[in-house]
Amino acid sequence: MKKIAILTSGGDAPGMNAAVRAVVRAGIYAGYQVFGVTRGFQGLINGDFVEMTLGSVADIIHRGGTILRTSRCEEFMEEKGRLRGLEALRDAGIQDVIGIGGNGTIRGLYEFSKLGVNTVAIPGSIDNDIPYCDMSIGFDTAVNTVVSAINRIRDTATAHERIFIVEVMGRESGHIALTAGLAGGAESILIPEVPFDLDQVVERLKQGMKRGKLHSIIVVAEGCCGAYPLAREIQAKTGMDTKVTVLGHTQRGGMPSAMDRNLASRMGKRAVDLIVEGKGNMMTGYQGMKIVDVPLAQVIEGKKDIDLDICEIARILSI
């Protein structure tokens, strides 16, 4: 019987369990043995394989995190580490590997494929910065988590007549900040991809104050600027009490949204289909609300840009 390995790697994202469930069930349905790899690429190197059954993935579709656990494995980024992983796979008789994760995971699978391993990537990242993928697993849930937090913060900002800076994840990507900021009605959204002028931000806040606005929300991606120094400068320039809330890892956890569960289920099923069809070294992308097949070599050379039209919409509506 042919064997598939499934792993989750890098930062966790809500919906990963739904994808694992889909791979296991679709794989078994197609006549494969499916093995879970614990702790991502590190588990692959160590040969930490556990056979999965239908019961293994019962009642996990609604759970955040990943039952397989995850890690960031620097060793796998070197050929010596990948060769150890290859040896472990051969010892276990496993021919195909499906990995769920972000850009680092996808690159790792691409490099692994050069050793003759058939790999398929499922994009799972709250950052939503994966090329050829309109929405990666976990992004929708993370945005909803941020919007929920903004709603609560706005309540207290209104009560105390304060400015709040809400820092969200995104070292190099502003997708969470932009999408959640627009949905949360933020007065300003600051992201790494778009340079900003602090004086212009302050002027817009002052114009709002002149119209009687007594509170404001500024959403900042962590890679854009330091939230605390920014708060000090804004308070000094506006005279308004300015607080910072760093949402941090709350954005990674929690029950995945219906969108993420459905997306993960569709991508997981397609990943198995690719293996059955003999189409390896691919990623299950998502474009125009459809699952698409994208070569890994194309993904790692690509770059996902921010939608400047949405930036302009947010700017106009935040007056």
Check 12, 48, 96, 127 and give the catalytic one.
127
H-type alpha helices, the chain: 16-29, 40-46, 79-92, 103-113, 139-160, 175-183, 198-210, 227-238, 258-276, 296-301, 308-317
Is 11 annotated in a binding site? The answer is: yes
Is 31 annotated in a binding site? The answer is: no
Is 148 annotated in a binding site? The answer is: no
Is 211 annotated in a binding site? The answer is: yes
Is 107 annotated in a binding site? The answer is: no
Is 25 annotated in a binding site? The answer is: yes
Is 63 annotated in a binding site? The answer is: no
Q: Is 307 among the catalytic positions?
A: no
Is 261 annotated in a binding site? The answer is: no
Is 305 annotated in a binding site? The answer is: no
Cα of first residue to Cα of last residue in the chain, in angstroms, is: 62
Closest CA to 196 of 211, 181, 209: 181
**Spatial distance between the Cα atoms of 58 and 52, rounded to a whole number of angstroms:** 11
Q: How many CB atoms lie within 10 A of CB 46?
A: 15
Task: Give the tokens for residue 161.
Answer: 């007549």
Angle at 41 between CA 36 and CA 47, to 5 degrees: 60
Residue 214 phi/psi, 5-degree rounding, is -110, 5
Task: Give the residue numbers of the binding site.
Answer: 11, 21-25, 72-73, 102-105, 125-127, 154, 162, 169-171, 185-187, 211, 213-215, 222, 243, 249-252
Active site residues per annotation: 127
Task: Give the residue numbers of the binding site for ATP.
Answer: 11, 72-73, 102-105
Task: Give the residue numbers of the binding site for substrate.
Answer: 125-127, 162, 169-171, 222, 243, 249-252
Task: Give the residue numbers of the binding site for Mg(2+).
Answer: 103
Task: Give the residue numbers of the binding site for ADP.
Answer: 21-25, 154, 185-187, 211, 213-215
